[in-house]
Copies of this chain bind each other. A is one copy, B any other.
């Protein structure tokens, strides 16, 4: 169709959730994660892969279908998606980050960093890792590690004093290799559920 990568049908670049430049300056040598071969958000290892912020046009690039591999998403209309995108952008603090296979214009990985404003620690900010998902037909590309390290370095870049996540038992080891720790006596995640998610 003659469109440039990431462009809308009208040829204009699609709106980003946050400025994409910040991803290019993340220093992957700061992470304890070991990549073989060495990759980064700026150089994800294949010329057909791009790590970038969520875009308003990603409704058409399978973003919701990708999330559907993680949990139930439901029937989200384009308007609902765009309204949520707008709300996140207005609120600030939402860093939904994706990996695209640009050959087929499909998203193949995603993770969200949210930034919580605090009064404690000199009005500091805290990061949270949420909704990590990778298309498992892309095994061996280190995509899980790539997307998590990307948003973890992003949290540091944005001044967070810490980054937190909740995870299943079987993922503890994976996150430990990326620098996350269980803190003795203080590593319990509890939930209260109000309704069945749709």
Contact = CB atoms under 8 A, between A and B. Distances in A.
Nearest to A156: B194
A191 B172 contact: no
Interface residues of A, number: 71
Contact of A190 (B156, B167, B198): B167
Nearest to A179: B192
Interface in A138-173: 152, 155-156, 160-172
Contact of A197 (B91, B117, B124, B128): B124
Interface string A73-116: 11110001101100110011110100000000000000000101
Provide the main secondary structure of the chain A interface.
mixed
Copies in the complex: 2
21 contacts: A63-B119, A64-B119, A76-B123, A80-B122, A80-B123, A81-B123, A94-B117, A120-B131, A120-B197, A155-B194, A161-B193, A162-B197, A164-B190, A166-B166, A168-B188, A178-B192, A180-B190, A182-B188, A182-B189, A183-B191, A189-B189
Interface of A: 63-64, 67, 70-76, 80-81, 83-84, 87-88, 91-94, 96, 114, 116-124, 128, 130-131, 152, 155-156, 160-172, 175-176, 178-183, 185-195, 197-198
